Chains A and B, each alone.
Chain A
Amino acid sequence: MRTVFQLFITFFNIGAFTLGGGYAMLDMVERAVVTKRHWIEKDEFWDMITIVQMLPGVFAVNTALYTGYKIKGLRGAIAACLGAIIPSIVIILLIAVFFLDYKDNPVIERIFRGIRPCVVALILSPAIKMFINAKVNWKTAIFPIATVVLVYFFKVSPVYIILATIIGSVAFAFYSQNRLNKSKS
């Protein structure tokens, strides 16, 4: 029970003080669960993170869930997860209550007129980075282009596009693996 509570507190602290979410918190998690508390081995921790990175959902939440699970099973997972998200929920709720009251205030309105075009650029930047990271070439460019056309002009939900990508690529992988096996035999 004591470890479960400590897990909650550890992730609560990380959730309350890491700006920038996800990858910024990894370093703090490693320091807390590997270096300080010796709950898990360093290699074990980074092996786990490699897999957690592939999962859908909130990366910080998944990191908390799997670290918690490794240390104290399901109860540990839930404690770590709650610890990681409760500070966010409380802080954001306070801001939301305040913001909805004051958003029509002329000063706030002027400030946010400046911030809005900035946010557009903040979203554009990871999109371009992802293009580079995915090594998009003339052949694979069809995927992002089709995505943009489907969502922007035909209002197809991103959920369906991800689903179609999974089904399509699993089918293609099976097909090409089969062909590879046949040509070997």
Chain B
Amino acid sequence: MIYLQLFWAYLNIGIFGFGGGYAMLSMIQFEIVEHYQWISAEEFADIVALSQMTPGPISINMATFTGYTVGGFWGSLIATASLVLPSLLMLYFVLKMLFKHKDNYIVKSTLSLMKPVIAGLIFVAALLMMNAGNFTDFGLHQNNISVIICALTFVGVFWAKINPILLIIASGIVGYLVY
């Protein structure tokens, strides 16, 4: 049963996963954490960090990792294969259709309308992760180090364009030192 659910969840993400790695990450977050509630928001954050630090596409890493956490070795293979399968099946269709109609008005306007929606999806994923599990010391009479880490990381990645891996390592060191 769990294999079937993994297959279905990742098949859908493979079919509708427009907009790159983070857009798919928001879909994975919704299916695995919110919908099926297989893992907590904290575990999800851990998996994102580890997937970011290891080579390869982040959504493949996420599928393998969450699949393993939920359904062991076979779970990881089913999740990853289901994510890739739609791409393989779409190959012929895309070669026949899209390569001829790439300048088509409908194709272009659909893709441009998709962008603000995807922005919203990624934003929700971040919003859903802002909970007590990920911000353990958040509160009026606490030192709020987690909030400071989050704010500094945002400045670092958004404005200073620092490599995310360095920011993850730095945050890990801070966590080790203060907690």
Contact = CB atoms under 8 A, between A and B. Distances in A.
Interface string A96-126: 1101100100010011111111111111111
B149 A117 contact: yes
A21 to B, nearest CB: 4
Given A56-B16, A92-B51, A157 B30 contact: yes
B80 to A, nearest CB: 6
B164 A116 contact: no
Interface residues on B, range: 35 or more
B134 A161 contact: no
Nearest to B150: A117
A128 B50 CA distance: 23
B107 A117 contact: no
A147 B120 contact: yes
Contact of B167 (A60, A110, A118, A145): A118
B126 A124 contact: yes
Contacts of A170: 106, 110
A21 B21 contact: yes
Interface string B26-68: 1100110011000000100110111111111111110011001
B151 to A, nearest CB: 7
> Size band of the A side of the interface?
35 or more
A169 B109 contact: yes
Contacts of B2: none
Contacts of B34: 155
Q: Summarize B's interface: helix, strand, loop or mixed.
A: helix
A58 B80 CA distance: 11
Interface string A116-160: 111111111111111101101000110111111001100101110
A61 to B, nearest CB: 5
Interface stretch (A2-10, A12-20, A30-38): A12-20
Contacts of B107: 54
Nearest to B26: A158
Contacts of A115: 45-46, 49, 168, 171-172, 175
A126 B22 CA distance: 7
Given A91-B56, A145-B120, A130 B115 contact: yes
A96 B64 contact: yes
B65 A92 contact: yes
Contacts of A15: 55-56
A124 B154 contact: yes
17 contacts: A55-B87, A55-B98, A56-B17, A58-B59, A81-B87, A84-B56, A85-B57, A92-B64, A92-B76, A116-B133, A118-B170, A120-B129, A134-B112, A148-B127, A159-B27, A169-B113, A174-B106
Interface of A: 15-22, 50-51, 54-62, 65-66, 69, 74, 77-78, 81, 84-85, 87-89, 91-93, 95-97, 99-100, 103, 107, 110-131, 133-134, 136, 140-141, 143-148, 151-152, 155, 157-159, 161-163, 165-166, 168-170, 172-174, 177
Interface of B: 12-22, 24-27, 30-31, 34-35, 42, 45-46, 48-61, 64-65, 68-69, 73, 76-77, 80, 83-84, 86-88, 90-91, 94-95, 98-99, 102, 105-107, 109-130, 133-136, 145-147, 149-154, 157-158, 164-165, 167-168, 170-176, 178-179
